[in-house]
A and B are shown apart, each in its own frame.
Chain A
């Protein structure tokens, strides 16, 4: 099979040094957009869970729809190898427990790591304290590693894509993704309408 152009780095069209340069550049743009969209405000993120403001799930959903649409178009044109894109392999139970803890921490703190870094850039004190907590949590994990390592690697199923669940291709995964994202945003907007504190 011929080597496709994209992704540039994996296919050898970009030196590691140039890729490091792009890391800083793309990070800068990511942080910039996080601030422009309100993700640097803990209040904005926490409002999601009280149905006061659904900007966060809307942005996330539209982001995924946009990215996957570009992927599918470029893959259709034969310009990008979607299988060369990095994604973490799946560990079922660690992901379930990890997600439950993450959600608890997020509604407690109002940040996730990326938004807190951008938030720290805007000067916010709660983002700074959150990130100190993050380092504390990492320390805790390393100290407890011998006790949690076994659980962390249970139910390893490797890289499983949506299409692998029933034997489709990238196009079927794309369609499922669009349906899920549109469905979730619509459902949340419906719930917001039901709850009286929803204003927008």
Chain B
């Protein structure tokens, strides 16, 4: 497990070049939150057709019978296998949750769930996450992406004291 991660500057150059190629080929950049929005919409409509009267859910079915026939959905499947392949090759497959050593795992997973729900909800207001809105938007000079990234980092810093015990070991202070 003691294999080092890439140098951040090198990683940034690689990721930036990949993002450029993605835009140059597909005309859009990376994304992730849209996949889960579509997955949820697909599930709701399959279990009850009356969900199509919800304008937001219906917008995913305008061009296809399935909300999952979509570029970002397929790209997200690729992300999963890319993460798997890289971890496998680097011998970094791991099951455990990240947290400070003394922090209880059940509490950590509780916050992971609640945080996931808050993140998902917020991406519907922000029209994307740190990928589809943050990276793609900043790369295409969008003012909105900068508004989103500034407020995201500000909130992360403002709320960080509340979660210090979860992330920082006591002896580190």
Contact = CB atoms under 8 A, between A and B. Distances in A.
Interface of A: 6-10, 14, 19-20, 22-38, 40-44, 46-50, 52, 54-55, 57-71, 74, 80, 82, 84-92, 94-127, 129-142, 145, 148-149, 151-152, 157, 159-165, 170, 173-174, 177, 180, 197
A132 B116 CA distance: 7
A165 B141 CA distance: 11
B5 to A, nearest CB: 4
B19 A67 contact: yes
A137 B117 contact: yes
Interface of B: 5-6, 8-9, 11-33, 35-37, 39-41, 44, 51, 54-57, 71-72, 74-87, 90, 92-99, 108-109, 111-160, 162-164, 166-168, 172-173
A100 B128 CA distance: 14
Nearest to A43: B98
Given A31-B86, A50-B168, A141-B120, A122 B93 contact: yes
A114 B78 CA distance: 11
A149 B130 CA distance: 22
B151 A121 contact: no
A134 B168 CA distance: 25
19 contacts: A9-B26, A22-B26, A25-B78, A27-B77, A29-B18, A33-B14, A42-B98, A47-B167, A64-B135, A85-B140, A88-B128, A100-B122, A106-B130, A108-B115, A121-B80, A122-B92, A133-B115, A133-B116, A138-B36
Nearest to A97: B125
Contacts of B151: 95-96, 98-100, 102-103
A105 to B, nearest CB: 4
Given A7-B26, A102-B155, A149-B55, A134 B117 contact: yes
Contacts of A31: 78-86
B119 A35 contact: no
Given A61-B12, A104-B159, A28 B82 contact: yes
Given A63-B135, A97-B125, A118 B54 contact: no
Contact of B147 (A24, A90, A112, A164): A90
B16 A63 contact: yes
Contacts of B78: 23-31
A28 B79 contact: yes
B144 A95 contact: yes
Given A30-B75, A67-B16, A117 B155 contact: no
Contacts of B30: 26-27, 30, 114
Interface of B is mostly: helix
Nearest to A181: B138
Interface of A is mostly: helix
A101 B167 CA distance: 19
Contact of A122 (B51, B84, B162): B84
A65 B148 contact: no
B81 A28 contact: yes
Most buried by B among A34, A97, A149, A160: A34
A174 B141 CA distance: 7
A36 B6 contact: yes
B32 A28 contact: no
Given A34-B82, A43-B98, A101 B122 contact: yes
A68 B76 contact: no
Contact of A24 (B8, B75, B138, B140): B75
A63 B44 CA distance: 36
